[in-house]
Amino acid sequence: MTKIVENNAKTFIKNRLNEVSHKIIRQGLNWENYKKGDLKKLLFSQVNGCAFENLKKSSLKKRQEYMFETCNLIEQLTPREFTQVFPIRKTYDGCKYECKDYFSTVKSIEKIGWDKKITNAFEFLWDFSWGNRNISYLTLFMMDVLSDNIKRKKGIGIFEEFMNENQIN
């Protein structure tokens, strides 16, 4: 019984955070009017308050709006500010398994500069995605939205296009 109440509470909080962040963002924001702390809180609620599995059921237009709202919000921050909201996961064995880890994430951030504004949110998220599990989910969600958009135009998604181009059956 306690587990059910706990899950319902988590779902309620996630849904409420999501509603609040969408309401704030839709008011035609002028980002300069917001304090960095408020932007970080908004980004936190935008990412952690989102039930991606529910959003995936929404229309492509609604999913694209969410993606662009989130990218615009990320582009108001520097990598240092971003990592204060979403700390880098402390795994150090990427070299051993030939995958991203703490060191590769830091290296990609250093290319941008810790205190320079993020100029391309999607590219930043792609490099950072290993750094934090919630950001990994966000990046996968965005890839899904982009793939669906391409599928709508071309008839096949990104993955299918890659498979065809590389003659993989």
18 falls in which pLDDT band (50, 70, 90)?
low
Residue 116 has pLDDT above 90, yes or no: yes
Q: How far is CA 8 from the centre of its chain?
A: 24
Q: What's the burial of 124, exposed, middle or buried (CB within 10 Å: 0-12/13-18/19+)?
A: buried
Whole-angstrom Cα Rg for the chain: 18
**pLDDT in the model for residue 12:** 54
User: What does the alpha-carbon distance between residue 145 and residue 66 come to, in Å, rounded to a whole number?
Assistant: 10
How large is the average pLDDT for residues 39-50?
Answer: 85
User: What does the alpha-carbon distance between residue 75 and residue 142 come to, in Å, rounded to a whole number?
Assistant: 15
Instruction: Read off the pLDDT of residues 58-114 as tens digits, 9 standing for 90 and up.
Output: 899 999 988 998 999 999 999 999 999 999 988 788 778 877 888 988 999 999 999
Residue 46 has pLDDT above 90, yes or no: no
- As given in the structure block, the two tokens for residue 78 are 């520097």
Residue 21 has pLDDT above 60, yes or no: no
Share of the chain above pLDDT 70, in %: 79
**pLDDT in the model for residue 145:** 92
pTM for this model (two decimals): 0.77
CB 79 within 8 A of CB 111: no
Q: How far is CA 73 from the centre of its chain?
A: 11
How large is the average pLDDT for residues 54-59?
Answer: 84
How large is the average pLDDT for residues 20-41?
Answer: 68
Q: How many CB atoms lie within 10 A of CB 87?
A: 10
